[in-house]
Amino acid sequence: MEALATFYETYQSTIAYVGLNALLALSVYTTLSCGQLALGGAGFAAIGAYASALLTLRAGWPFPAVLLAAVVLPALVAVPLGLPVLRLRGVFLAIATIAFGEVVRLGIVNWDYVSGAEGLVGIPQKTGVWMIYLALALALFVLGRLRGSRWGLALEAIREDEPAARTMGIPVARYKLAMLVAGAALAGLAGALEAHFTFMVAPSGFGFEKVVHMLVFAVVGGSLVHWGPVLGAALLTLLPEILREVAPRVGLEPGPLRQLVNGVVLLLVILFLPRGLASLPLRGRARRARWVES
Amino acid sequence: MSIQQLVNGLFVGSMYAVFALGYTLVFGVLDILNLAHAAVFMAASFVALTLVEALGLSILAALPIAMVAAGLLGLVLERIAFRPLRARADSNIAGLISSLAMATILGAIAHELWGPNVTRFPFDTLPNATERLGGIVSRMQLTVIAVALVLVLALTWLVQRTRLGRELRAVAESPRAAQVVGVNVDRAIAASFFISSALGGAAGILYGLAYDVHVEMGRSVELKGLAVIIVGGMGSMPGAVIAGIALGVIETLVVAQLGGSFRDVVSFAGLFLILVLRPHGLLGAAATREA
């Protein structure tokens, strides 16, 4: 029991980051689940993080109210963003949302009230690891309930063939907007939880790299089922911890080695397992089913 | 606006233009966004630096050699990250992700080979004299603008006047139809990657000559390059050149009037507005970018 406590002490921040990254990965998943590649997640996380930090530091709101605001505010921003942007197709949606994220980041850099590029420091640590996992569990529960429901089937129909879904009378635009808003809320919540875990927020933490990481978690884990992104986030957050041990033995620095492994994993997954690691058990089942039939 | 500011803007803009030309070539032919383009930009700069420093080559020899190296890197990218995905229904999104993976891998390799430090070309690589043209303009700036101009003209000639250029345009129109009339589609696509990456590499070398060379240097152009090709119009080469130069000039003005930290706001706010208001860009054909 004591060993367990020591283990938890040592790896507390890693455990927290697995949860935070899983929330961020789910925020990419929400739009991917209806076939849309929206990459504004870092911008929404920044809005959530900064709003929460300001409400705690300058307004002294209680933490539950702060978290609620960090969920609601990005969601409200997502509506006017989504209305024009979601008309764009494929790569163009990705580019427009990347531009949105950069505008948010650069806006923060140029905003003196939040001390620009230096960021806000001295945020009290109010996030418990249990809160992160409670949020994750709630998100997974809701997304899990969607599968097979009328709503979930509509999303699948949009993902597989958008014009056909529209022809069948599915209000495509409304579903896409709803998922963008849900993703923004999740990213904002993750941003607020992280800000109150690490004592600080800075715009450099919400750049293009951040959203690339979020996307990589979701793609490597797989966006076909809701637990895929969580799997991807867990795996890719724990991997650097393991690599830090391995790196000296293969004569590489941990930084480049981590980058190399991330890149290779992503490449292998997109080439050979386009539906992500979570599709492995499904594949096995399909093969067994075929075998039984023959 | 002084002549000096104008030249500064043209100088920065000509690097954006060369980078964006390569970006938009692949985008126009394949409808695929090659996010490893900025990694090629960085790698070519390091290759040229190594040629100049270790082998003592003149930059005039190192530039074409490093461009060919960048082109070969482009062929590798095409082979590994794009060709296997071509048949897939979601190939444009899958290609975006696989090129992101290749960019990460190239970044790690460059970090191993050349280290994390910021390095510069030797001081005497280019003559560092200055000219008086209503202000102080360095030879280096004029050289960069001249090289960019030559590359733009060469590419225009290649695409408009040669057999390869005709094949590329045919594939851009419709790969299947091109195949029917006897175009070797695989070869045309590989050629477009070679040319695109050679141009990206050239932009990286020019940038390295003007500023410095380091592993993260691609960050300064990867997203701005996107802004340029979208604003210029998808796959439109004149559009990419005009938008690239315009961005350079506007940025220089913004820095002079509002201060350095506002420089990047212009490109992304502009990009965002263009995508929302006029999705096919300023010079692009009204392609089906909307669902």
What would the pLDDT profile of A210-229 be if each residue is shown by its tens digit? 998 999 999 999 888 889 99
Q: What angle do CA A87, B82, B181 make, to 5 degrees?
A: 90
What would the pLDDT profile of B133-146 be if each residue is shown by its tens digit? 656 678 788 888 99
A259 close to B (CB below 8 A) = yes
Alpha helices (runs of H) in chain A, residue ranges in sequence order: 2-32, 41-54, 63-85, 90-109, 129-146, 150-160, 162-167, 172-198, 208-221, 228-250, 254-272, 279-293
Residues of chain A found within 8 Å of residue B32, distances taken between Cβ atoms? 91
Residue A103 scores a pLDDT above 60:
yes
Using pLDDT thresholds of 50, 70 and 90, give the confidence band for residue B47.
Answer: very high
Task: Give the minimum alpha-carbon distance from A261 to chain B in angstroms, rounded to a whole number.
Answer: 8
pLDDT of residue B257: 85
- Taking residues A190-219, what's their average pLDDT? 92
Task: Please give the residue range of the domain that contains residue B95.
Answer: 11-217
What would the pLDDT profile of B245-282 be if each residue is shown by its tens digit? 999 999 898 888 887 777 888 778 887 787 777 766 66
Residues of chain A found within 8 Å of residue B286, distances taken between Cβ atoms? none
Which has more pLDDT, A116 or A75?
A: A75
Residue B149 scores a pLDDT above 90:
yes
- Cβ pair B219, B207 in contact under 8 A: no
Closest-CA residue of B relative to A100 is B272
pLDDT of residue B290: 40
For chain A positions 124-153, those within 8 Å of chain B (CB to CB) are none
Task: Give the minimum alpha-carbon distance from B218 to chain A in angstroms, rounded to a whole number.
Answer: 12
pLDDT of residue B28: 82
Percent of chain A clearing pLDDT 70 (strictly above) = 95
How many separate domains does chain B show?
A: 1
Using pLDDT thresholds of 50, 70 and 90, give the confidence band for residue A289.
Answer: low
Rounded to the nearest 10 degrees, the angle between the axes of helix B219-232 and helix A208-221 is 80
- Cβ pair B197, B36 in contact under 8 A: no
Which has more pLDDT, A31 or A224?
A: A31
With CB atoms and an 8 Å threshold, state whether A267 touches B223: no
With CB atoms and an 8 Å threshold, state whether B101 touches A266: yes
- Taking residues B77-103, what's their average pLDDT? 88
Q: Among A55-59, B58-62, B266-270, where is mean pLDDT lowest?
A: B266-270
Residue A242 scores a pLDDT above 90:
no
A171 close to B (CB below 8 A) = no
Residue B2 scores a pLDDT above 90:
no
Residue B231 resides in a domain? no
A250 close to B (CB below 8 A) = no
Percent of chain A clearing pLDDT 90 (strictly above) = 55
- Domain of A193: which CATH number? 1.10.3470
- Cβ pair B74, B36 in contact under 8 A: no
Residue appearing with tokens 């961005």: B247
What would the pLDDT profile of B192-206 be if each residue is shown by its tens digit? 999 999 999 999 999
A164 close to B (CB below 8 A) = no
Task: Please give the residue range of the domain that contains residue A237.
Answer: 2-293
Percent of chain B clearing pLDDT 70 (strictly above) = 92
With CB atoms and an 8 Å threshold, state whether A270 touches B102: no
What does the alpha-carbon distance between residue B188 and residue B243 come to, in Å, rounded to a whole number?
A: 26
pLDDT of residue B288: 42
Residue A286 scores a pLDDT above 80:
no
Q: What angle do CA B58, B203, A108 make, to 5 degrees?
A: 135
Residues of chain A found within 8 Å of residue B33, distances taken between Cβ atoms? 91, 94-95
Closest-CA residue of B relative to A90 is B93
Chains A & B: contacts with CB separation below 8 Å: 130
The secondary structure element, H or E, covering residue B136 is strand B136-138
Mean of the per-residue pLDDT values for chain B?
A: 86
Q: Among A135-139, B17-21, B217-221, where is mean pLDDT lowest?
A: B217-221
How many separate domains does chain A show?
A: 1
pLDDT of residue B287: 46
Residue B82 scores a pLDDT above 80:
yes
pLDDT of residue B291: 35
> Of A100-104, A126-130, A134-138, B112-116, which one has max mean pLDDT?
A134-138
Q: Which residue in the set A96, A102, A107 is minimally distant from B223, CB to CB?
A: A102
The total number of residues written for chain B in this structure: 291
pLDDT of residue B286: 47
pLDDT of residue B74: 96
C-beta contacts of B50-58 below 8 A and 24+ residues apart: B50/B114, B52/B121, B52/B122, B52/B125, B53/B121, B53/B122
What does the alpha-carbon distance between residue A140 and residue A146 come to, in Å, rounded to a whole number?
A: 10
What would the pLDDT profile of B162-178 be if each residue is shown by its tens digit? 999 999 888 888 888 88
A165 close to B (CB below 8 A) = no
Q: Determine the 3-state secondary structure of A120 from DSSP.
A: strand
Task: Give the minimum alpha-carbon distance from B248 to chain A in angstroms, rounded to a whole number.
Answer: 18
Residues of chain B found within 8 Å of residue A85, distances taken between Cβ atoms? 275-276
pLDDT of residue B1: 63
For testing the chain B interface, which of A106, A159, A257 should be mutated: the one with the most B CBs within 10 Å?
A106
For chain A positions 206-235, those within 8 Å of chain B (CB to CB) are 208, 212, 215-216, 219
Task: Give the minimum alpha-carbon distance from A283 to chain B in angstroms, rounded to a whole number.
Answer: 18
With CB atoms and an 8 Å threshold, state whether A106 touches B276: no
Residue B150 scores a pLDDT above 80:
yes
B/e letters for B251-276, b = 16+ CB within 10 Å, e = fewer, are bbbbbeeeeeebbbbbbbbbbbebbb
For chain A positions 60-79, those within 8 Å of chain B (CB to CB) are none
What does the alpha-carbon distance between residue A70 and residue A45 come to, in Å, rounded to a whole number?
A: 9
Residue B279 resides in a domain? no
Query: What separation in angstroms does the CA of B6 have from each of A146, A209, A253, B148, B167?
Result: 57, 33, 44, 16, 38
Rounded to the nearest 10 degrees, the angle between the axes of helix B139-161 and helix B163-173 is 70
